[in-house]
Amino acid sequence: MSQSFLGRMGNNLRDLWKYSDMRFKIGLFSTLFFLLLGFGISNIPHTNPFFHFTYMPSLSPSAQNLLGTTPLGQDIFWMLVNAVRNSLTLGLIAATIGTVIGIFLGLLAGFSGGAIDRIISTITDTFIVIPTLPILILITALIGGGASVITLALVLSIFGWAWPSRQVRSMALTLKERDFISTAKFSGESTPQIIVTEILPYALTWSLVSFMNATLAAIASESGLAILGLSPANLVTLGNMIQWARERNAILAGHWFWIGAPIIAMVVLFIGLFLLISGYNGYLSRRRGQ
């Protein structure tokens, strides 16, 4: 069975690469580059860029300092590498928690119906209409400046599950009226079995796109909090890099690599993930049309 599963997975990956358009391939390579940068290159031994005056301040780019150093003697390249790693870690954790909770509650509400559906839908709608930014500002102010990546990811995931839950519920409401669901019921399958074996595979295809969107949203939310000065000051993230450069008037002082590197990295990362999402959606549309 495992060999058959691996064989089907290999065929699906080959079909995905063969029939996907250039958007997907460009987005895939861009995303893999940032994953390599954040989780591969960051493991190379280096001086912690968070510490001040580990190098001479305001050095120009060189073989030793690829992007130069800040006026505080921090290596900009290694600061960028650590920022990419922390931002991706934060986004992936928040997206995973939000997507898993959203899928579970959406399937439970849509397939169960009745009082359970009404209760979950009411809670979901409440979280959707709550303005997230003021609440995130309040929570991050309360937890202070010493929060870890995981703590901040948990905070961001508080509002990350509502939209996936609403969308999966709509999917479940449609699927449970299909003939194959009725056949499964008449064959004696329990409700959990039907959800896992019949409905969940459809939700998983959609959830990949939702997961990537949630990753983008989490990174963008942290960056917004950082610009407001509310992201934990002990974390090197893309948002905090921009905020620190802004506080030190990097633009007026001409330290373009300091403020430009995180901005360009964030723009390229977001465009890459957008191309990956839109390319994958295009592949799914073509596959459904076959």
Judge whether 188 lies within some domain: yes
Predicted pLDDT of residue 40: 93
Range of the domain at 253: 22-43+67-289
pTM of this prediction? Answer: 0.85
Name every residue whose Cβ is closer than 8 Å to that of residue 258 and which is 6 or more positions away in sequence.
68, 70, 76, 241, 245, 248, 250
The more confident residue out of 30 and 210 is 30
Where residue 51 falls among pLDDT bands split at 50, 70, 90? confident
SS3 of residue 75 by DSSP: strand
In a domain, 59, yes or no: no
Q: Taking residues 115-123, report their average pLDDT.
A: 90
3 assigned to some structural domain: no
280 part of a folded domain: yes
pLDDT band at 288 (very low <50, low <70, confident <90, very high): low
Q: Please report whether residue 177 resides in a domain.
A: yes
For the chain, the domain total comes to: 1
Q: How many helices (H) and strands (E) does the chain have?
A: 13, 0
Domain-located, residue 259: yes
Contacts of 278 (CB under 8 A, 6+ apart): 23, 24, 27
Which residue is it, tokens 């893999």?
Answer: 32
pLDDT exceeds 80 at position 216: yes
Beta bridge partners of 69: 75
Q: Please report whether residue 4 resides in a domain.
A: no
Distance of CA 2 to CAs 9, 198, 202, Å? 10, 19, 21
**pLDDT higher than 90, residue 12:** no
Mean pLDDT, to the nearest integer, of 193-205? Answer: 73
Q: What is the CATH number of the domain that holds 285?
A: 1.10.3720.10
The verdict on residue 73 lying in a domain is yes
